[in-house]
């Protein structure tokens, strides 16, 4: 059993029977009273961010997780099927475990967090950015690049993103998968 002295960023612990990952922590030694550790952690299953204060020396249960690269293959009923690039083993992940499934592209490499002892997948993390073609958007107006006005556009994955007015059908754009926001136009 570990103590609060072992806490570091990225560490995965069991807290209130749920798996949580430490985002940030601060060891505090006030002038009066005992020391404590203030933490901010993310519940792995829900993504909810929690604030908690542990007294110094408090026992914590560390959970070992592994980050593995898998390639997205296809969608099957209520699951997405991924393949390990080294062993070619396939794993079916429930759709609810993928945070932004509308940005999945066949052949895309994703990181999957696994509970190391139980060999159970926990979270699927998409790459930070994807490059996709705009399949539909209203026609752009020539010379309208000075304003910050955005219009809706549908990309090849079926997701809808907001793009600047000068983007037209068939153009290749880069999109941030965490926020779903247009980043830039990609030159072919």
Residue pointed to by tokens 């699927």: 124
Contact criterion met (CB below 8 Å) for 99 and 111: no
Q: Is the model's pLDDT at 85 over the cut of 90?
A: no
pLDDT number for residue 100: 87
The CATH class that applies to domain 129-185 reads: mainly beta
Q: Is the model's pLDDT at 20 over the cut of 70?
A: yes
Calpha distance 131→133 (Å, rounded): 7
CB-facing half-sphere around the CA of 66: CA atoms within 13 A: 11
Q: Say yes or no: do domains 65-125 and 129-185 share a fold.
A: yes
Calpha distance 35→33 (Å, rounded): 7
Calpha distance 132→103 (Å, rounded): 9
Mean pLDDT of 79-97: 91
pLDDT number for residue 145: 62
Query: pLDDT tens digit string along 114-149?
Result: 888 888 888 888 999 999 999 999 886 666 666 678
Query: So where are the chain's domains?
Result: 2-62, 65-125, 129-185
For the chain, what percent of residues have pLDDT higher than 90? 53
How many Å separate Cα 61 from the centre of its chain?
A: 24
Query: pLDDT tens digit string along 162-186?
Result: 998 888 899 999 999 988 899 999 9
CATH level 2 (architecture), domain 65-125:
Beta Barrel (2.40)
Report CA-CA distances (Å) from 57 to 3, 4, 10, 70.
5, 5, 19, 38
Mean pLDDT of 18-32: 91
CATH level 2 (architecture), domain 2-62:
Roll (2.30)
Calpha distance 149→133 (Å, rounded): 20
Residue pointed to by tokens 């203030």: 38
At 46, the pLDDT band (50, 70, 90 cuts) reads confident
Contact criterion met (CB below 8 Å) for 133 and 154: no
Q: Is the model's pLDDT at 38 over the cut of 90?
A: yes
Calpha distance 171→67 (Å, rounded): 34
Mean pLDDT of 40-69: 90
Contact criterion met (CB below 8 Å) for 114 and 68: yes
């Amino acid at each position: 059993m570990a103590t609060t002295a072992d806490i570091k960023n990225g560490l995965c612990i069991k807290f209130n029977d749920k798996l949580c990952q430490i985002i940030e922590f601060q060891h505090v030694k006030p002038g009066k009273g005992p020391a404590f550790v203030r933490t901010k952690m993310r519940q792995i299953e829900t993504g909810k961010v929690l604030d908690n204060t542990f007294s110094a020396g408090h026992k914590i249960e560390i959970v070992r997780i592994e980050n593995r690269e898998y390639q997205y293959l296809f969608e099957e009923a209520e699951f997405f099927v991924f393949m390990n690039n080294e062993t070619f083993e396939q794993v079916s992940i429930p759709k609810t475990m993928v945070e932004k499934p509308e940005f999945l592209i066949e052949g895309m490499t994703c990181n999957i967090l696994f509970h190391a002892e139980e060999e159970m997948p926990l979270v699927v993390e998409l790459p930070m950015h994807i490059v996709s073609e705009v399949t539909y958007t209203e026609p752009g107006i020539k010379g309208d690049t000075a304003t910050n006005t955005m219009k809706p556009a549908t990309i090849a994955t079926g997701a809808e993103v907001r793009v600047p007015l000068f983007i037209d059908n068939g153009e290749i754009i880069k999109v941030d998968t965490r926020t779903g926001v247009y980043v830039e136009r990609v030159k072919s």
